[in-house]
Amino acid sequence: MDGDRLIYGAEYGLSRRAALGGVALGTTFALAVQPVQAQTMIVTPTDGLTAGAVKVKTKDGKDMDAYRAMPATGQGFGTILVVQEIFGVHAHIADMCRRFAKAGYYAIAPELYFRQGDPKTYTEIPKLVAELVNKVPDAQVMGDLDSAVAFAKGEGKADTAKLGITGFCWGGRIVWMYDAHNPAVKAGVAWYGPLIRPGTELQPKNPIDIVKDLHGPVLGLYGGADTGISQESVEKMREALKTGSAAAQKSRIDVYPDAPHAFNADYRPSYRKDPAEDGWKKALAWFKANGVG
């Protein structure tokens, strides 16, 4: 593992000391997903951008780390909240922020587990889910995303009246939930987020439960070969959207028949180039069509 971390550190211009510990947010990967697939991993350069880690003040006065990227010149950029996978704000999530910035957006990815722990230190996914992910309350996440929006507005470069949200896996579910939480959301793009599952005390509802509350239309991008999200649940969500809010009725779920879960994760074996590239084009078009761009 340490050898892998040194390799990744070298790729991102980090010193040996930085690669072994105290790495900057968004410059490495969770131990649970190493080694990464370097041959397919996309690294978007920062030229022409203002990009890097920032501190966001939350509603309870805590400092939350976040990765933020935007064009280096100009202002009034449409704002995209980028919501992490279960692995936190690692290099892939930071790269997604840079991709949005290259497209003219202000993108910010807050570290939403920071009160519960660091997901990047876990070596086993089941342990990560049981000990950390399942202990993160939805209410906390909603509030911290609100704080990220406030931070973006405070920087004076983003137009938070043009607010969109996108997320992956765990973050895909959060897209639906935050869209229902915040009336300011113009549109969302959810990548393979769970739609139906048993509620818990900390995470009592799920996307299918809040279709009547959606404020902006959501584009769902799902894999037909996803073994964790059944096509039955996708079809049930499609039916529920038909009788939801006006935004729900404008929402859409597209399924890539042969794509597995995490088909956009270009650093993992699950990556599928064609669905990932098509999904990215659809995401940009969706935001533009719905007042975010």
Give the strand order in the sheet containing 77-83.
49-57, 63-71, 106-110, 77-83, 158-168, 185-191, 218-223, 252-256
pLDDT in tens, 32-86: 998 999 999 999 999 999 999 999 999 999 999 999 999 999 999 999 999 999 9
Give the CATH superfamily of 45-289. Alpha/Beta hydrolase fold, catalytic domain (3.40.50.1820)
pLDDT in tens, 90-102: 999 999 999 999 9
Catalytic residues: 169, 226, 261
**What letters, b where the CB count within 10 A reaches 16 and e where it falls short, cover 267-280?**
bbebbbeebbeebb
Nearest to residue 46, comparing CAs of 82, 71, 75, 14? Answer: 71
Which helix (H) or strand (E) segment is 51 a member of?
strand 49-57
pLDDT in tens, 196-228: 999 999 999 999 999 999 999 999 999 999 999
- Helix-, strand-, coil-residue percentages of the chain, each rounded to 5: 40, 20, 40
Contacts with 199 (C-beta within 8 Å, 6 or more apart), sequence order: 205, 206, 209
pLDDT value at 12 more than 70: no
